[in-house]
């Protein structure tokens, strides 16, 4: 693979990663949001595979397949199950409307660029230059988490953040050591399962997954 | 020079045909026979024979708009790289100038709509300006993002650079810019899902509300200009994201002819796709349009950001 | 021998968890948890002796025990023991009230043991990434413990807990990634890139720009788990809704374990960036936490939430001590960790019994507790006194230590602000304590007296006694405290 094509493919994967992340802000339909999340998982897997192909690293390629499988297959599957059980298919009344969220995302992109300055200065290179993309998705995920009122949207926000962190890890260092990578993936999977169970319980005890209903505890 | 003349003629004569093709595609997909692709020309001919009347109390703005709108469209047609990148007005082929010219036309029409003093005219104008306020920055930003790799805001240079490095077209920059430009082109030309050119429903119409008071030759000019703007924007999309076949400076007459055929084909295909997609789409509710446009603005901004980060 | 001692604190609770998984929760296995906790404590004490000569590696270099880890293990053991002793009584009461099925009891046994194992792993991990994994594992394990009661409140608390903590800890993961990035560029190999000892040794070579960002994220992330402001919102809910023994563990040690991670990060940050960067972060977090605690304690109406906010206060104090950062301050911080763990576990266990008896966690529902149940009221009152930092409890000594170290280090102003806020807290808690404890028993006290099982009563009294003992003399821990503080200041490897 030549340098030019490698960089081109890498950035294309990053672009898809960013686009899917931002589109989550736009859609209200929860099943569409989950579909976007699955696409983002694919983009992330592709990103790792491109890195692996360039570095001719079989282990990295396997990690890429694993990460892609987890984030494009297993996690969306769990969320679709939760959605089917929950019955509510739309994000109602987000705290910030879609138009404003999209403009906020633009500001977040600038912020991400500013934050990643030290990294780009330390090691300028094609992969490091893509780090702002990952950080933008991180901030967008955080924004989704804070402003959405459905349990499932919050889970997606959390997972967007996690995808972004994983992307950062692979862009900066081609991944953390394997033990940590395994631990991280396991933890994420378990966290989603825990949240899945809790969504179930919220529905059982509050009669819906609208988190505005959660106001038993306050000072 | 010959290329530019060819280009202007092509846009001027071909635009109503493009509208005809799009209507025909829709009609066939909806199971109707359709009026044939020449119907827009027949409509224009009919309107041109009729007497233009101006409502009482309207000022010079109302009379100027039907001239300004096609005028700006023709100037844009002479500078945008559709058939050839070598325009004698090369200095004007700047992205900012082109956007400003298109905006000038839109603003003229909006003011004319206000000038009539009717409820529909004012409503259409206010909606048009709302859309415009989000569309123009988006066009600017997305073409600007594409101009960063070329190192120039001259449209001819951008298209030439893209034709020379086709690989750069599969980058996140052009991906994001393409999405943004497609959305704003739809909005700017008043197509579904932003506006429906086929209805005069007061709840939703934008473009049609402003032209309600026009008749005869004036209406013909406005309809013609709208068709030209549609084909110009589609041509710009085709030129920016599929720049193959466009004649460069110093190309012979044969190359120009080939380029003309190619651009006509590209625009027809794009128009056909647009019409086909309209069949499957519902019009957005008016208050969700800013959402769509804010989305396209974000895409354009991200495209600019990406063109700097990932360069 | 010492190498197997390093793995023991993780393996023993895991075995006990397996025991619960196989045999379920019944009269015979009920005390298994307490046995495992005692085993953990003994192992920690042996490890403290074993690490006197320096750090010990185990499990292919993934685990590493030094004086600081050993000390933290002792804290875990000391708090876990009374909490585990209280477990059977708690479950019996819940079962009597019809809240707990055998499956839920089995899950409770398994999860509490896994919780202990995860905390032990967090303090023993030699690798920053592994520390992260362990801390996140504590979140996952405790999520169901917080939501154990299946009520609306418990479910809500569990949701907030998992979401906020997972996000915070996600930020810490980004910090870990950035540290690794900086380490690779400082010439460390891939195997050493996250190794805490190697990072500390080579910290001066880390790129300051990236490290600054990483440290910020790590402090913010682990600070979320430690209940430091501004990411403390989950804490009062989770701690007040969890079963009493779990609250004791979460408040008493889990917060400190997360704080331990911050201490480790701080050592690296001080070497790489100079002491000022981490100091500023910690002072902001400390004063913020104290202010939040003071504001919300004033008008608190729920005694379990009162205890939770008091945990935020004490975490703020720890952060202040860490910000001061010399050997005296850190020794005081470590002593404070132990003292707070003891006092908090006494209070949460007591609160659990009070809640069972009264059926409400509102302060106004109590009154005349001393008259109604002298033993429970007495230990609860003494626990509150300990928490407020009155002599002779060890928290007095440690708070004094932090203050004394603060003035010469140039953070005198912060100490003054902190102690002013603590005066407010003392006044607030004192007023609530008077309402709860003193006064005549209410007329409705026709209810049967609040009875506390012997094992629990014994452990409450013992914990308070240890707290007093440490306040009088720290002699048995002197050596360990000194070497642990030396590690936390970066003076010793």
For chain A, say whether B175 makes contact (Cβ under 8 Å): yes
Q: Nearest CA of chain C to the CA of A119: how many Å?
A: 6
In whole angstroms, how large is the CA radius of gyration of chain A?
Answer: 18
Percent of chain B at pLDDT above 70? Answer: 99
pLDDT band at C443 (very low <50, low <70, confident <90, very high): low
Chain B hits for A105, CB-CB cut-off 8 Å, are 298
Provide the pLDDT for residue C431: 92
The total number of structural domains that make up chain A: 1
Percent of chain A at pLDDT above 70? Answer: 98
The DSSP-derived string for B164-197 is H-GGGGGSHHHHHHHHHHHHHHHHHTT-TTT--T
Contacts of C364 (CB under 8 A, 6+ apart): C301, C435
pLDDT band at C442 (very low <50, low <70, confident <90, very high): low
- Show me where the domains of chain B are located: 2-309
Q: What is the mean pLDDT of residues C452-474?
A: 90
Tell me, yes or no, whether A219 lies in a domain. no
For chain A, say whether B286 makes contact (Cβ under 8 Å): no
> Is residue C444 pLDDT above 70, yes or no?
no
- CB environment C228-267: b (16+ within 10 A), e (fewer): bbebbebbbbbbbbbbbbbbbbbbbbbbbbbbbbbbbbbb
pLDDT tens string C172-182: 999 999 999 99
Q: What is the mean pLDDT of chain A?
A: 87
Q: What is the mean pLDDT of residues B230-234?
A: 93
> Taking CB atoms and an 8 Å limit, are C213 and A123 in contact across chains?
no
pLDDT band at B165 (very low <50, low <70, confident <90, very high): confident
Q: What is the mean pLDDT of residues C407-411?
A: 90
Q: What is the mean pLDDT of chain B?
A: 87
Tell me, yes or no, whether A129 lies in a domain. yes
Q: What is the mean pLDDT of residues A23-34?
A: 88
> Is residue B58 pLDDT above 90, yes or no?
no
Task: State the maximum Cα–Cα separation within chain C, in Å, rounded to a whole number.
Answer: 73
Secondary structure (3-state) at C300: coil
pLDDT tens string A177-192: 777 777 788 788 888 8
> Is residue C223 pLDDT above 70, yes or no?
yes
Q: What is the mean pLDDT of residues C107-136?
A: 94
Tell me, yes or no, whether A162 lies in a domain. yes
> Taking CB atoms and an 8 Å limit, are C159 and A173 in contact across chains?
no
Provide the pLDDT for residue C418: 95
Q: What is the mean pLDDT of residues B10-29?
A: 93
Chain B hits for A26, CB-CB cut-off 8 Å, are 291, 295
> Is residue C445 pLDDT above 60, yes or no?
no
pLDDT tens string C16-35: 999 999 998 888 888 899 99
Provide the pLDDT for residue C179: 93
Work out the angle between the directed axes of helices C374-387 and C454-472 (0-180°, nearest 10): 30
Contacts of C82 (CB under 8 A, 6+ apart): C248, C345, C346, C349, C456, C459, C460, C462, C463
Q: What is the mean pLDDT of residues A62-83?
A: 90
- Domain interval for residue A44: 3-213
Question: What is the C-alpha separation between A68 and A164, in angstroms, rounded?
Answer: 13
Q: Which residue of A has its CA nearest to B175?
A: A15
pLDDT band at B311 (very low <50, low <70, confident <90, very high): low
pLDDT band at C425 (very low <50, low <70, confident <90, very high): very high
> Is residue C307 pLDDT above 90, yes or no?
yes
Provide the pLDDT for residue B71: 94
C 221-280 near A (Cβ less than 8 A): 236-237, 240-241
Provide the pLDDT for residue C314: 96
Question: What is the C-alpha separation between B209 and B224, in angstroms, rounded?
Answer: 17
For chain A, say whether B179 makes contact (Cβ under 8 Å): yes
Q: Which has the higher per-residue pLDDT, A214 or C74?
A: C74
Q: Nearest CA of chain B to the CA of A101: how many Å?
A: 9
- Residue in C132, C150, C237 nearest the CB of A217: C237
Closest CA to C236 of C332, C301, C170, C324: C301
pLDDT band at C102 (very low <50, low <70, confident <90, very high): confident
């Amino acid at each position: 693979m030549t340098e030019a094509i490698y960089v081109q493919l890498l950035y294309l994967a990053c672009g898809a990663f960013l686009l899917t992340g931002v589109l989550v802000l736009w859609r209200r339909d929860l099943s569409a949001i989950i579909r976007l999340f699955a696409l983002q998982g694919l983009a992330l897997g592709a990103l790792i595979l491109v890195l692996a192909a360039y570095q001719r690293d079989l282990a990295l390629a396997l990690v890429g397949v694993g990460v892609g499988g987890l984030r494009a297959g297993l996690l969306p599957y769990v969320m679709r199950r939760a959605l089917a059980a929950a019955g509510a298919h739309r994000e109602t009344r987000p705290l910030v409307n879609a138009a404003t969220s999209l403009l906020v995302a633009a500001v977040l992109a600038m912020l991400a660029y500013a934050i990643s300055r030290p990294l780009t200065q330390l090691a300028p290179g094609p992969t490091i230059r893509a780090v702002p993309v990952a950080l933008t998705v991180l901030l967008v995920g955080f924004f989704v988490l804070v402003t959405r009122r459905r349990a499932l949207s919050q889970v997606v926000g959390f997972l967007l953040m996690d995808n972004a962190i994983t992307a950062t890890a692979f862009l900066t260092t081609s991944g953390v050591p394997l033990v940590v990578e395994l631990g991280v993936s396991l933890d994420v999977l378990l966290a989603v399962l825990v949240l899945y169970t809790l969504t179930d319980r919220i529905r059982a005890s509050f009669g819906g997954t609208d988190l505005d209903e959660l106001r038993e505890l306050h000072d | 020079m010959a290329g530019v003349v060819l280009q202007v003629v092509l846009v001027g004569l071909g635009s109503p045909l493009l509208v005809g093709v799009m209507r025909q595609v829709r009609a066939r997909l909806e199971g109707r026979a359709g009026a044939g692709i020449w119907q827009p020309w027949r409509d224009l001919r009919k309107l041109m024979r009729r007497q233009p009347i101006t409502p009482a109390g309207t000022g010079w703005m109302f009379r100027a708009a039907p001239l300004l709108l096609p005028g700006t469209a023709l100037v844009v047609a002479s500078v945008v790289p559709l058939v050839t990148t070598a325009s004698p007005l090369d200095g004007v082929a700047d992205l900012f100038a082109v956007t400003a010219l298109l905006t000038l036309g839109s603003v003229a029409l909006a003011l004319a709509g206000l000038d009539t003093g009717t409820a529909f005219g004012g409503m259409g104008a206010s909606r048009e300006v709302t859309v415009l306020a989000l569309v123009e920055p988006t066009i600017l930003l997305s073409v600007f993002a594409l101009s960063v790799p070329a190192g120039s805001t001259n449209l001819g240079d951008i298209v030439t650079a893209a034709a020379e490095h086709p690989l750069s077209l599969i980058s996140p920059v052009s991906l994001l810019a393409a999405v943004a430009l497609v959305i704003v082109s739809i909005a700017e030309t008043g197509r579904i899902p932003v506006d429906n050119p086929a209805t005069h429903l007061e709840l939703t119409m934008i473009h049609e509300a402003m032209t309600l008071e026009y008749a005869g030759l004036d209406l013909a000019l406005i309809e013609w200009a709208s068709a030209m703007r549609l084909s110009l924007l589609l041509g710009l999309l085709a030129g920016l994201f599929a720049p193959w076949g466009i004649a460069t400076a110093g190309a012979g007459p044969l190359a120009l002819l080939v380029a003309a055929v190619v651009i006509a084909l590209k625009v027809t295909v794009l128009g056909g796709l647009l019409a086909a997609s309209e069949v499957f789409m519902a019009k957005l509710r008016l208050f969700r349009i800013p959402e769509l446009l804010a989305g396209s603005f974000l895409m354009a901004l991200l495209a600019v950001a990406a063109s700097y980060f990932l360069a | 021998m010492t190498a197997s001692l390093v793995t023991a604190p993780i393996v023993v609770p895991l075995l006990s968890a397996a025991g619960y998984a196989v045999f379920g929760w019944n009269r015979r296995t009920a005390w298994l948890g307490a046995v495992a906790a005692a085993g953990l404590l003994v192992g920690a004490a042996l490890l403290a002796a074993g690490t006197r000569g320096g750090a010990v590696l185990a499990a292919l270099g993934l685990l590493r025990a030094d004086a600081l880890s050993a000390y933290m293990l002792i804290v875990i053991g000391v708090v876990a023991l009374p909490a585990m002793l209280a477990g059977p009584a708690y479950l019996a009461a819940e079962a009597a009230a019809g809240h707990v099925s055998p499956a839920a009891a089995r899950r409770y046994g398994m999860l509490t043991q896994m919780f202990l194992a995860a905390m032990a792993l967090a303090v023993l991990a030699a690798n920053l990434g592994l520390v992260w994994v362990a801390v996140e594992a504590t979140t996952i394990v405790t999520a169901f413990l917080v939501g154990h009661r299946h009520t609306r409140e418990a479910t809500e608390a569990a949701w907030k807990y998992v979401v906020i903590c997972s996000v915070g800890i996600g930020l810490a993961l980004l910090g870990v990634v950035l540290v690794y990035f900086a380490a690779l560029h400082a010439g460390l190999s891939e195997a050493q890139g996250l190794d805490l000892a190697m990072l500390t040794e080579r910290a001066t070579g880390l790129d300051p720009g990236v490290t600054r960002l990483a440290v910020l994220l790590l402090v913010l992330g682990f600070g979320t788990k430690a209940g430091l402001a501004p990411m403390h919102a989950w804490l009062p809910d989770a701690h007040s809704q969890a079963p009493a023994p779990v609250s004791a563990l979460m408040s008493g040690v889990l917060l400190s374990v997360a704080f331990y991670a911050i201490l480790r990060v701080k050592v690296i940050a001080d070497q790489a960036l100079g002491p000022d960067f981490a100091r500023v972060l910690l002072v902001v977090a400390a004063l913020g936490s104290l202010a939040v605690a003071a504001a919300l304690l004033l008008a608190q109406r729920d005694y379990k939430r009162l205890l939770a906010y008091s945990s935020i206060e004490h975490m703020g104090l720890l952060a202040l001590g860490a910000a001061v950062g010399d050997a005296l301050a850190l020794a005081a911080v470590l002593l404070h960790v132990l003292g707070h763990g003891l006092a908090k576990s006494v209070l949460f266990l007591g609160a659990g019994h009070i809640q069972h008896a009264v059926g409400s966690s509102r302060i106004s529902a109590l009154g005349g507790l001393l008259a109604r149940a002298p033993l429970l009221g007495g230990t609860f009152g003494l626990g509150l006194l300990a928490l407020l930092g009155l002599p002779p409890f060890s928290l007095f000594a440690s708070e004094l230590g932090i203050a004394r170290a603060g003035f010469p280090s140039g953070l005198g102003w912060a100490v003054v602000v902190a102690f002013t806020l603590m005066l407010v807290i003392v006044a607030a808690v004192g007023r609530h304590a008077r309402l709860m404890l003193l006064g005549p028993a209410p007329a409705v006290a026709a209810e049967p007296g609040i009875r506390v099982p012997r094992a629990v009563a014994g452990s409450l009294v013992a914990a308070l006694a240890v707290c007093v003992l440490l306040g009088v003399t720290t002699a048995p821990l002197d050596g360990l405290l000194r070497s642990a503080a030396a590690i936390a200041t970066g003076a010793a490897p």
